[in-house]
Structure formats: C-alpha cells, structure tokens
C-alpha cells in the first residue's frame, strides 16, 4: 500500500503552539503543546505535539512530505518596523524590548524551525519541505476546508496576524479567494483586549472573563466607545482612534486619554470588581457584537453566499456567535473549534494541501473535525497500568455499570471527572477531558468554581445537552457541537426574578436561580451550549442518556478538566493528580471508576497554588 | 547567507526597498540593545510581537 502523503502543520513562538497532521488531506491528529508540557499557553516549538501527531500514523518526521508554518515572520517584522517608524521617537521602550527577541530568534525563524526539525530527521533538506502560510489565510483555511459547506463566505477576526486583523474571503471547493482585509492597528481583537486589560484581566487569556462578566452589567459605556474609540463604516469595516490606545508604541494596551474617558486608571489585579467594571464589560461586549454583525451582514451582501465560516480568536466569542446565528444574515454558520492560533497549525497544513498542492476536498457530513477529538487516547490496559503505578485505587466496571455509577454520583450532586477517548483540540473540553456536574443544583456553580476550579465565583458554566433534546431546553434548533454558540434557556424552564431580586446589583444576582437548570443558566437566561452527538462521542452521549433516564434531565454541567491556570489534562496521571488536588469526588478514566474516599490520603496534594493564575 | 538571500527576495517581492536603510539602522540599534542587556525579556503585549 502506498504511504499516505503527510503534511504537518505548526504554530509556535507566539502563544498556544500546536501541531496538526494531515494524511492524504484527511485530518488525523492535532494537539496543543501545553497539554504535554503542562505549561499554559506554551509557545515553544511543539516537539511533543509533533511526536504525538506522527505516532497516530506510525510515522517519523522523515516521512513527512511538507511542514507548514502558520504565519510569515518577515511580513510581521515589516509591520513592526513600519509601526515603530511611524510612531518614532515614541515607542522606544517597546522597541527596546521587542527588537532583541526578533534579532535573536524570530527573524531567523526558518533557521530555528529547520534546526528543531533536524534534531529528529537530520538527513532531510528541510529548507525545501518547509512552507509558510499567511496568518489569516491559515485561519480561513481552518474555517472553510473542514466545514460541511461546498461554498461559503469566510470571516476571520483576531488580534493581529502579519498585517491583517480581519479578513473576508469566499471558499469554493478546494479554493479560497481573499476579498478584503482590515489591517493593524484597527482590530476587534485588540479593542476587546484593551478592555480586558483595563478591567484588570490578563491580555490573551482574560477575554473569557470579560465575556462572562458582561451580563452582570449594563452597556452604559457603549455609546462612549462608539463616539470616541471606534468608527464603524457602512461596509462593516472600522477604524480605531489610536489616541486612546497605546499598543502600537507602548507596553500597555490603553493610553491616558482612554483612562480619562472612562473615569480612572486600569483596575489592578488585586482590586475588587465593581459595577463599573461590569458595565464596561457589558459595553465592550455590546460593541463587539455590533461590529461582528456589521461585518457579517456586509459579507452576506457582498458575496451573496448563504453559508458562513468563522475563525480567529474573536470567533471564540460565543455570545456574539449566538447573535450572529439569530440575526439570520446567513442560513448556516460553522465555526472552527480551535479558532485561536493553535488552529492556525491545522489551517496552515490545509492551505498547503488544498491551495498549493491543489489536493481535492471531500465535504463531510457534519464536518471533517471528528468532533475535535483529535488528541491522544489510552487503551484500557494502559490506563490500568498507569493508574496502578501512580498508587490509585480503582474498580474496573463494564460500560453499563460505569454509566450507572457515574450518573448516580452526578444525580447526588457530586463533581465527577470524566476522561474518555481522544483529547479535544481547541480550548473547550467536549466530554473527552471534562469535569461534570448536575445542572439542577443551585449550589453547583459556586461549588465547582471555588472548590474544584479555584476560580472567580462569577465564572459561568456551560451545559452539554443531548442533540435530540436541545430544543426542549434551549432556544436553539441546530447543532452546537463545539460549545461556540450561546442561546437562551426556553421560556417555560425559566424562573422569573422577584422584585427584591431584580433590585440587586450586578454580581449580587449571582446566586439567584434563573431556571430549572440554574448551574448552567447565566444571569440573562443565556447558556453556552454543547450539543452531544452519538456519532462523535458515543460514551458521553450514553452517560448523559443514563443521567436523563435517572433524573429526566438530558443536560450536564461540563467544564474543562483542569484548575485555574492549568492546561486541560492529557494523560490518566494528569487526571488523577487533578482529582487528588481538588474537590472532584469521583473519577472515571476509561472503564476505571475511582472514588475520593477510597484513595490513599497521603496522595492528596495542595493543588490550588500549583499553577500560575491566568 | 541564506537568511540574507531570503530577506532580499522578500524585499523584492513586496517592493519595500525603502525599508533597507530602516532595517540597517534598526539592526544596528537593536544590536546595541542586545549587547547592552543580558537577556531579552518577553514583552508584555506578546500578541503584537
């Protein structure tokens, strides 16, 4: 049998390095390096992820036909130089910090990559086999080629790639035609990050927190943002008034003029969150939604396409995505589950396969992402050996016994670690590496946040619901397999607020039950939904079905299997460590069932301070 | 040498000849900064760099 044509995609050296592998154009494996090194957002060369991807097809690096890198460093350097030049002499401090890294490493990225690749395959002419794809083309390829559409409009939005921050394209068959781009410094991602910074969260990881905080506030600054910071044009494009920002020339996101406009300096990390911060979060969320909708409507008008594909970090804003679906400017929307830079590795490989090699494209039913379960898995015998070596005490159950025991624990309000099959690719846990809970419990949100995840009490949790039952519980008719759409709980399951509850301010409303499934219902009745499909994750589907048979509720709380600041678990050992360091009460790994009470207490550890906070 | 060749190809493809003196000055200035400091600290807003 002929050896398959292998294309390895890489993203690295900025944040979230990752590898993805295509075999004859089919996506066979993808993983983020952080999962192996246990360092969140690890940006180093993804040597472990590369090794893992190749092991899926029994190949070595010397069997790879092409390696594709997800952006073009020279063009990025050009942007850097031109930006510094246009702001000079301002920006010297930023220049002095950035230039050494470029002169030592990033400018010589091709040599650096070749050096890394030669370590495992020294005899190859990697200069010939190494290809580069533009950042937004990588995102566009990751959005369109795995999608279920023969034709679609493509919208990619993020902080910044080389020059582009937003791009509009049309995909058809195995081609992508770039139509227009919006260039740095005008960027939805950077605008959102500016408010992430201003509200006291970390840029590049705290954006989720701003989105989670938004429903507690009122968008009372939205008008100010639109009047001063952003100029939205009729064709959906936009300009940011750079006098309010400092990211072009400084080492902060916002300028003094920004602070004056919004009435004070940025919140320090240790300062308490106030109603003002929640109102700021609500305002930037509202403006972002308006900008995304404006762009999408313009793309629909210009291209006449009925389908839309999304990628780029902004496509992880599931609240905006939900509004886009309900707006109806496109009939169908598909979002790449690894929409951030990790997904660029996959997009770069797909761009080389389809656009450069003109490889044919098979449009799959559903999509070609295999449910995003593209990471490592462990056979039952290996799980038992690894857990035994770690000193874990477990029982091996049949499938039916396992679903019964796990669903009973969940119905009793226990937090359950659920480790099955292949690890997910992308930021969301989708029932492969998840912590689960009972959504009917009013206390589940605070228990999971404070005792299991060690994170802020306001952070919302997302529901997993059987696909066939989604319309009974949420105002969503279609699929949302990757937890990237937000929709409201159906009206008949909502609990209206009393007058006294309505009078509460902001985060005080946190403990008000809003529906029959309060643990996954946000303060505005919204929920970030994952539809669970028997075809892509039969074991998770079977567990939720068992829980539904026991309780009448085909919904579970699903949060990623990690604590704050920790990458999602990858191996059975990672899962056991997290289990022993947190309030998780039972753990299922493959067919092994573990109860906290049965474990050796000496294996418990202080896990809360083991990871740097995000 | 291959780096210089590739950089030249890039400048020709993008028609950015005016960047050459800027690159030289920045490289010189950058080298001084590299020599002056022990280690390069990752910048705060790392997305941009």
Residue B49 belongs to some domain of the structure: no
Residue B26 belongs to some domain of the structure: yes
Quote the tokens at residue A35. Answer: 């999962």
Same domain as A222, residue A141: no
Question: Is the alpha carbon torsion for A185, A16, A538, A586 positive or negative?
Answer: negative
In the structure, what pLDDT confidence band is assigned to residue B37 with cuts at 50, 70 and 90? low
Residue B19 belongs to some domain of the structure: yes
| CA angle in degrees (0–180, nearest 5) for A27-A29-A35 | 145
**For the domain that residue A128 is a member of, what is the CATH number?**
3.30.420.40
Residue A158 belongs to some domain of the structure: no
Same domain as A347, residue A296: no
Proportion of chain A in helix, strand, coil states, percent, rounded to 5: 40, 20, 40
> Taking CB atoms and an 8 Å cutoff, what residues of chain B touch A203?
44-45, 47
Q: Please list, in sequence order, all residues whose beta carbon lies within 8 angstroms of the beta carbon of residue A326, skipping any fewer than 6 positions away.
A: A487
Same domain as A121, residue A243: no
Same domain as A314, residue A350: no
Orientation angle between helical segments A188-198 and A275-303, nearest 10 degrees = 180
- Bond from prior residue into A298 cis (ω within 30 degrees of 0): no
Same domain as A471, residue A412: yes
Q: Does B6 touch chain A (CB under 8 A)?
A: yes
Same domain as A392, residue A353: no
Question: Is the alpha carbon torsion for A203, A206, A212, A215 positive or negative?
Answer: negative
Residue A169 belongs to some domain of the structure: no
- Residue in B31, B41, B47 closest to A97 by CB: B41
Residue A217 belongs to some domain of the structure: yes
C-alpha separations of A442 from A411, A519, B46 in Å: 13, 6, 40
**pLDDT of A258:** 98
- Domain of A75 in residue numbering reads as 6-145+339-372
**pLDDT of B49:** 52
Same domain as A349, residue A206: no
**For the domain that residue A419 is a member of, what is the CATH number?**
3.90.870.20
Same domain as A448, residue A594: yes
Residue A609 belongs to some domain of the structure: no
Query: A552-597 pLDDT, tens per residue?
Result: 999 999 999 999 899 999 999 999 999 999 999 999 999 999 999 9
Same domain as A591, residue A458: yes
Judge: B47–A193 Cβ closer than 8 Å, yes or no: yes
Q: Please list, in sequence order, all residues whose beta carbon lies within 8 angstroms of the beta carbon of residue A170, skipping any fewer than 6 positions away.
A: A151, A152, A153, A154, A176, A177, A179, A303, A305
Same domain as A223, residue A118: no
Residue B31 belongs to some domain of the structure: yes
Which residues of A does the annotation mark as catalytic? 15
Report the run of H or E that residue A411 belongs to, with start and end. helix A399-411
Residue A155 belongs to some domain of the structure: no
C-alpha separations of A62 from A118, A293, A376, B30 in Å: 9, 46, 21, 37
Q: Does B22 touch chain A (CB under 8 A)?
A: yes
Same domain as A553, residue A522: yes
Residue A571 belongs to some domain of the structure: yes
Residue A175 belongs to some domain of the structure: no
Which residue, A312, A347, A372, sits at the end of a domain? A372
Counting the structural domains of chain A, the total is: 3
Residues of chain A with confidence (pLDDT) below 70 = 1
> Which of A39, A96, A112, A126 should be substituted to probe chain B, the one whose Cβ sees the most B Cβ atoms within 10 Å?
A96
Judge: B43–A252 Cβ closer than 8 Å, yes or no: no
Residue A481 belongs to some domain of the structure: yes
Orientation angle between helical segments B2-14 and A109-120, nearest 10 degrees = 130
Residue B32 belongs to some domain of the structure: yes
Same domain as A295, residue A197: yes
Counting the structural domains of chain B, the total is: 1
Residue B45 belongs to some domain of the structure: no
- Domain of B9 in residue numbering reads as 2-36
Query: A345-358 pLDDT, tens per residue?
Result: 999 999 999 999 99
- How would DSSP label each residue in A69-106? ESS-HHHHHHHHHHHHHHHTTTTHHHHHHHHHHHHHTG
């Amino acid at each position: 049998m002929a050896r398959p044509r292998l294309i390895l995609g890489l993203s690295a050296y900025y944040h979230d390095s990752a590898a993805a592998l295509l075999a004859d154009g089919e996506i066979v494996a993808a993983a983020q390096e952080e999962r192996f090194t246990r360092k969140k957002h690890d940006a180093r060369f993804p040597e472990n992820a590369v090794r893992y991807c190749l092991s899926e097809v029994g190949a070595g690096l010397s069997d790879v036909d092409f390696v594709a890198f997800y952006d073009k460093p020279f063009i990025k350097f050009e942007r850097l130089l031109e930006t510094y030049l246009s702001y000079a002499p301002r920006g010297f401090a930023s220049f002095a910090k950035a230039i050494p890294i470029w002169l030592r490493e990033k400018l010589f990225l091709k040599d650096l990559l070749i050096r890394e690749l030669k370590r495992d395959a020294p005899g190859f002419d990697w200069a010939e086999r190494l290809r580069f794809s533009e950042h937004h083309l990588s995102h566009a390829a990751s959005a369109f080629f795995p999608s279920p559409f023969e034709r679609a409009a493509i919208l990619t939005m993020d902080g910044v790639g080389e020059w582009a921050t937003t791009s509009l394209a049309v995909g058809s068959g195995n081609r992508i035609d770039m139509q227009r781009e919006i260039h740095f410094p005008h960027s939805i991602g950077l605008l959102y990050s500016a408010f992430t910074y201003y509200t006291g969260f970390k840029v590049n990881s705290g954006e989720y927190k701003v989105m989670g905080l938004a429903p507690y506030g009122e968008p009372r600054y939205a008008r100010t943002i639109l009047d001063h910071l952003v100029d939205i044009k009729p064709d959906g494009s936009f300009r940011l008034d750079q006098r309010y920002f400092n990211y072009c020339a400084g080492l902060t996101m916002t300028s003094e003029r920004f602070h004056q406009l919004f009435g004070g300096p940025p919140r320090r990390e240790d300062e308490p969150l106030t109603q003002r911060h929640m109102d700021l979060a609500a305002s930037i969320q509202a403006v972002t939604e308006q900008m995304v909708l404006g762009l999408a409507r313009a793309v629909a008008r210009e291209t006449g396409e009925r389908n839309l594909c999304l990628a780029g970090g902004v496509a992880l804003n599931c609240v905006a995505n939900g509004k886009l679906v309900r707006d109806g400017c496109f009939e169908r929307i598909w979002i790449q589950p690894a929409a951030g830079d990790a997904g660029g590795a996959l997009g770069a490989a797909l761009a080389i396969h389809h656009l450069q090699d003109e490889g044919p494209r098979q449009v799959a039913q559903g999509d070609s992402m295999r449910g995003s379960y593209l990471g490592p898995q462990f056979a039952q015998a290996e799980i038992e050996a690894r857990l035994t070596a770690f000193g874990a005490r477990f029982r091996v159950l049949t499938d039916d016994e396992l679903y019964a025991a796990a669903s009973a624990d969940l119905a009793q309000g226990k937090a359950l670690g659920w480790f099955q099959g292949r690890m997910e690719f992308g930021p969301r846990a989708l029932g492969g590496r998840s912590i689960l809970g009972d959504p009917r419990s009013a206390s589940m949100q605070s228990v999971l946040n404070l005792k299991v995840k060690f994170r802020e009490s306001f952070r919302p949790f997302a529901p997993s619901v059987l696909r066939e039952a989604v319309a009974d519980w949420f105002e969503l008719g279609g699929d949302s397999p990757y937890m990237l759409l937000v929709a409201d709980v159906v009206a008949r399951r909502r609990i209206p607020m009393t007058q006294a509850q309505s009078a509460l301010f902001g985060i005080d409303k946190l403990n008000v039950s809003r529906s029959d499934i309060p643990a996954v219902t946000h303060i505005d009745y919204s929920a970030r939904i994952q539809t669970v499909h028997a075809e892509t994750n039969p074991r998770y589907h079977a567990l939720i079905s068992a829980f539904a048979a026991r309780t009448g509720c085909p919904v579970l709380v699903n949060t990623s299997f990690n604590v704050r600041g920790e990458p999602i678990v990858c191996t059975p050992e990672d899962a056991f460590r997290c289990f022993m360091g947190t309030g998780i009460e039972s753990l299922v790994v493959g067919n092994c069932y573990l109860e906290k009470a049965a474990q050796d207490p000496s294996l418990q550890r202080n896990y809360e301070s083991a990871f740097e906070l995000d | 040498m291959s780096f210089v060749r590739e950089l030249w190809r890039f400048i020709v493809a993008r028609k950015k000849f005016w960047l050459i003196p800027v690159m030289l000055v920045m490289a010189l200035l950058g080298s001084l900064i590299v020599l002056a400091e022990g280690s390069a600290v990752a910048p705060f807003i790392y997305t941009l760099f």
